[in-house]
Structure 1
Amino acid sequence: MPLTSGKQAPQGSPSSPRFYLLDFARFLAALAVVFYHFVSRDADQWPRSTRGMFPDLSIISSYGYLGVQLFFIVSGFVILMSTEGRTVSSFAAARAARIFPAYWLAVIATACLRTWTAPELGDGVTVPQVLVNLTMFQVPADVSHVDDVYWTLWIELVFYIIMACLMAAKVTYRGYTIFLAVYPSLMLLVAESEDLRLIDITGAKYFSFFALGMCLYLIHKHGSKFELWLLFAFNAAIGIHNTLYFSVPNEPTDGRFVTDVGVAIVVVAIIALMTVLTLTPFKHRGYTWMTKAGALTYPLYLTHHYWGLWLIGRLEPTMGRWLTLAIAVAASLIVAYMLERWVERPVRPRMRRLLQRVLS
């Protein structure tokens, strides 16, 4: 989703070692988001509040939304790594082939669910809304998401665009260190402003987490240097500040289970975990099944929300809370596997080759 020196091949080549535990951490973060949506946010599909139905689990999973921060750190690390030895066109083709096939199917399937099968999940969607969502540009177009969880995808896409620009500018190591000091500072100013549209379009509240991943990759590749650790600490401080300032007061968890201290501890733990999984001897430990689990992360994130809630509403009256929850999670994993196995895996290489020909 690394290089201890410039001599190793980029990940994805036959000689490149996998980051098994990093893959598995992504998968666990996706599961945390799933449990957050299923048992920490009140939904009409449950007969009463999630706190009343899952008193202990709901409190723990209230912090599951912070899995998104882990996703962004991983992306910062992996995407910078993936630029090694690539042209801008090959990078763009690879990223588009990675994010769009499963996303297109998820958008269409969720739109059908909300319009015809389960209109109780919210207002139905319109054809223009779906078409804009298919571009992934619904945020700058000021169009509602077909599924609320798609908000992170625009932020991810903005990061890809930034990385493509840095590649086009042929930024060197020194250029990256300057960028990792200046751009997060600008994004902090944007995040502190009252321009909500600009905040949403730039993804200002979350860029520091991508920057953290980039810092980790540069340390991994170039070794432990003072300026890199200083940038790492700087972006970690911004990330913790932004999470506490913007996220805690607004999280729609039942009873406001999350606390400032709890959120700070979880975010620090995530940053520490990512450091261990990328910079210590643990980075290449693990098993091949962890990579397969990691491959389910994206399709699981795309499809679990509305489909899982719909299934909960259908099953809970007859099966009870725990069995319903288990089936909803299992079904989400099965759907994710099907998307990865029969959509992403066969379509991605074909789409990448096609886009490379077009862009070249």
Structure 2
Amino acid sequence: MGKEGLSGRCSGGQRVNEIDLLRFVAAMAVVFYHYAFRGFAGGDRTTMAYPLLESVAKYGFMGVELFFMISGFVILMTAANGSLRKFVVSRIARLYPAFWVCCSLTFLAILLIGGPRFSATFMQYLVNMTMLNGFVRVASIDGVYWSLFVEIQFYAMVSAVLMLGLISRAQALLLAWLAATVALAIVPNPVLRFLLITDYAPYFIAGAVFYLVWSSGANGVRCGMLAACLGLALRDALGGLPLFEQRYDTRMSRGTVVAIIVSYFVAMGMVALRWTGPLLRRRWLLAGALTYPLYLLHQNIGYMIFNLAHPALDPHLVFWGTLALVLFASWLVHAGVERRYTGQFMRACDGAVDAGAGLLRRVGTGRWR
């Protein structure tokens, strides 16, 4: 999950308040999945089970798919003004400061209380700080970083569209991406599947189409694209369940999985059609602000606290106390880092891009404006 990909604000200052609430719901689903199911079920993270919520929490891994759908919506909203420069600067400035702090806190926790289940080297930490370690096959400090790599791939695709000056043809490009995803499901090609992010393309595409509906209305083509995305999403989710069940020795309800995915499309459809009503349109700024640092901080730090405190302390106290602690830490990162330094970092990035743009213009590339 990338922060700006899941922010409710676009570069033009518009805000879709419901997005902040959906982001927080998705983040909490992932947190409960890790704390109440994945850590113990995987057998390699923590010895503390939490059976009270296990039967529900095991579906929380699907919160990441909602993140990707929201990302499609907001990233197209952000890129709609056609400025590659603004897009790149906003991505860097909004992603990196909080990530650097959260990655550093996780590394410090590993050094202090990580053993024997968690370990990391200083060089591994430095490569992680680039946020590109997944592309050079260096293990992540925290497992949740995998979704950042997917987001970065999506940002690269959007950047290429902006560089070519084709953002005004977003619907046609999304339709082509959808067609390619369908084709690669029939005739797989590993390289193209990686480049086109086909495992998660239905969610990114659906989110972007929902933005088009939000900004300029629904039509037959867009409804057809959303139906195709829903079909692909259901196919992929149901097809992956046997492996999930085998890995974690559990049984998953197919009906529940279908209902969750359909609910994502319904929720985003209500946002796109502005049918959410006054309650959901209220400002959910705090919920949205906590989401990115919460996502980055919660997993391995939470597991390490579980291992440190259990079985000496009651599991209910450990579970809910850890959740409260990471929520508070997330607020500190937001208030102390994001709110205070993002603007300064954005101005610094803007200056660096100015210098880079000048160099590019001198070699004949003029798309940075």
- TM above 0.5, yes or no, is yes
Choose 199-208 or 32-41, whichever is displaced more.
199-208
**Alignment correspondent of 2:36:** 39
- 1:81 equivalent to 2:77? Answer yes
Seen in structure 2, the aligned counterparts of structure 1 residues 324 and 153 have a Cα distance that, compared at 3 Å, is same
Seen in structure 2, the aligned counterparts of structure 1 residues 13 and 218 have a Cα distance that, compared at 3 Å, is closer
AA at the equivalent of 1:158: Q
* Alpha-carbon distance in structure 2 between the residues aligned to 1:144 and 1:210: 26
Choose 304-313 or 61-70, whichever is displaced more.
304-313
* Alpha-carbon distance in structure 2 between the residues aligned to 1:269 and 1:343: 34
State the Cα deviation string for residues 69-103 of structure 1 (Å, max 9, x = none). Answer: 11011111011111233521111001111111111
Please give the residue correspondences for 1:1-360 in structure 2 after superposition, counting only pairs within 5 Å: 11=10, 13=12, 16=14, 18-41=15-38, 42=40, 47=47, 50=49, 53-55=50-52, 57-85=53-81, 87-122=83-118, 124-171=119-166, 173=168, 175-190=169-184, 199=193, 203-246=197-240, 249-250=243-244, 254-282=248-276, 285-286=279-280, 290-360=284-354
* Alpha-carbon distance in structure 1 between the residues aligned to 2:175 and 2:77: 19
**Alignment correspondent of 1:7:** none
* Alpha-carbon distance in structure 2 between the residues aligned to 1:251 and 1:197: 28
* Alpha-carbon distance in structure 1 between the residues aligned to 2:285 and 2:206: 22
Q: For this pair of structures, how many residues does the alignment match?
A: 344
* Alpha-carbon distance in structure 2 between the residues aligned to 1:109 and 1:237: 40
How many percent identity over aligned positions? 26
Gapped regions of structure 2 (runs ≥ 5): 355-369
Seen in structure 2, the aligned counterparts of structure 1 residues 220 and 191 have a Cα distance that, compared at 3 Å, is same
* Alpha-carbon distance in structure 2 between the residues aligned to 1:193 and 1:335: 46
Q: Is the Cα–Cα contact under 8 Å of residues 214 and 271 in structure 2 kept in the other structure? A: no
* Alpha-carbon distance in structure 1 between the residues aligned to 2:295 and 2:159: 25
* Alpha-carbon distance in structure 2 between the residues aligned to 1:32 and 1:82: 26
AA at the equivalent of 2:16: F
Q: Is the Cα–Cα contact under 8 Å of residues 300 and 332 in structure 1 kept in the other structure? A: yes
State the Cα deviation string for residues 312-340 of structure 1 (Å, max 9, x = none). Answer: 22233233121211101101101110111
Seen in structure 2, the aligned counterparts of structure 1 residues 140 and 197 have a Cα distance that, compared at 3 Å, is farther
Shift of 1:310: 1.4
Choose 140-149 or 327-336, whichever is displaced more.
140-149
* Alpha-carbon distance in structure 2 between the residues aligned to 1:284 and 1:137: 41
Seen in structure 2, the aligned counterparts of structure 1 residues 311 and 112 have a Cα distance that, compared at 3 Å, is same
**Alignment correspondent of 2:366:** none
AA at the equivalent of 2:101: L
* Alpha-carbon distance in structure 2 between the residues aligned to 1:12 and 1:283: 24
Q: Is the Cα–Cα contact under 8 Å of residues 101 and 344 in structure 1 kept in the other structure? A: yes
- State the TM-score, normalizing by the size of structure 1: 0.87
State the Cα deviation string for residues 41-65 of structure 1 (Å, max 9, x = none). Answer: 21567556x3xx414x101011101
